[in-house]
Amino acid sequence: MSGIEGKVVTITGASSGIGRATALLLATRGAKLVLGARRLDRLEALKETIEAAQGEAICLAIDVRQRNDLTALVALACEHYGRLDVLVSNAGIGPISKFEELCVSDWEAMVDVNVNGLLYGIAAALPIFRQQGCGHFVNTISTAGIQMSPTMGVYAATKNAVRTLTEGLRIEYEGKYRVTGISPGFVGTSFADSMTDPGIKAQIQKRMDEIALAPEAIARAIAFAIEQPADVDVGDIVIRPTAQD
Render pLDDT for 234-243 as a digit per residue (tens, 0 to 9).
999 999 999 8
pLDDT of residue 147: 85
Structurally, what CATH architecture does the domain formed by 8-239 represent? Answer: 3-Layer(aba) Sandwich (3.40)
Which strands form 86-89's sheet, in the order they lie side by side?
56-61, 32-37, 8-12, 86-89, 136-140, 178-184, 236-239
Per-residue confidence band for 67, with pLDDT thresholds at 50, 70 and 90:
very high
pLDDT of residue 205: 82
- Mean pLDDT across the stretch 194-216? 83
Active site residue 155: yes
Domain borders along the chain are 8-239
The catalytically annotated residue of 81, 120, 155, 177 is 155
Position 204 pLDDT exceeds 80: no
Count CA atoms closer than 13 A to 89's CA, side-chain side: 32
pLDDT of residue 1: 54
Render pLDDT for 213-222 as a digit per residue (tens, 0 to 9).
999 999 999 9
**Interatomic CA distance for residues 201 and 136, integer angstroms:** 34
pLDDT of residue 56: 98
pTM of the model: 0.95
Render pLDDT for 10-56 as a digit per residue (tens, 0 to 9).
999 999 999 999 999 999 999 999 999 999 999 999 999 999 999 99
